[in-house]
Amino acid sequence: MFLEMPYSLNLTAPIHRLTMKNLEEDFKDHPDFINAIKKLNKNVDDGLATRDTNKSFLINKIYGETIGQHK
């Protein structure tokens, strides 16, 4: 079951629904992140809201691996 979760780029940014369209717009300068989440979206039932065995969102892990390391 796909759940539309909210996200925000920072504490003062607007809140968006966690959709591929929104992520592609907000992270257009980070193609590694977009490519990784496109694979996640196709490979799991919950899509972008998928959690790992620790109940953490996989998209957060992908963010850390692709964007967070470059900050």
pLDDT value for 5: 79
User: DSSP label at 18?
Assistant: -
pLDDT tens digits for range 25-49: 999 999 999 999 888 766 555 677 7
**Single-letter amino acid, residue 28:** K
Helices (H), 1-71: 20-26, 31-43, 58-66
1: confidence class by pLDDT, cuts 50, 70, 90: very low
pTM over 0.85: no
Write down the domain spans for the chain. 18-70
Could you tell me if 8 and 25 are in contact, meaning their C-beta atoms sit under 8 angstroms apart? no
pLDDT value for 43: 56
